[in-house]
Amino acid sequence: MPLDEAKLRDLALSYVARYATSAAKLERYLSRKLRELGWAEDVSRPDIPALVARYVELGYIDDEGFARAKSGSLLRRGYGVRRVNQALGQDGIAAALREEVAPGQVEQRHAVLTLARKRRFGPFGVLPLERDKREKQIAAMLRAGHSLDFAREMVDATSEEAAEQWAHELDEDCGDEGW
64 contacts 97 by C-beta, under 8 angstroms: yes
pLDDT confidence of residue 40: 83
State yes or no: pLDDT of 153 exceeds 50: yes
**3-class state of residue 75 by DSSP:** helix
pLDDT band, residue 177 (cuts 50/70/90): very low
**Stronger pLDDT, 147 or 2, i.e. the higher one:** 147
| Closest by Cα among 95, 93, 91 to 25 | 91
The rounded percent of the chain whose pLDDT value lies above 70 is 94
Least confident of 11-25, 31-45, 83-97: 31-45
Please tell me the predicted confidence (pLDDT) of residue 173.
61
Q: Write the DSSP symbol of residue 40.
A: -
| pLDDT tens by residue, 33-55 | 999 998 887 777 889 999 999 99
pLDDT in tens, 51-71: 999 999 999 999 999 999 999
Whether 172 shows a pLDDT value over 50: the answer reads: yes
- Check: CB of residue 116 under 8 Å from CB of residue 124: yes
pLDDT digits (tens, 9 = 90+) for 97-143: 999 999 999 999 999 999 999 999 999 998 778 999 999 999 999 99
Would you mind telling me the total number of residues written for the chain in this entry?
179
**In this predicted structure, what is the pLDDT of residue 176?**
47
What's the confidence (pLDDT) of residue 12?
Answer: 96
Neighbours of 171 (CB within 10 A): 14
Predicted confidence at residue 178, as pLDDT, reads: 46
Whole-number pLDDT of residue 179: 41
The pLDDT score that the predictor gives to residue 174 is 57
Structure confidence at residue 170 (pLDDT): 82
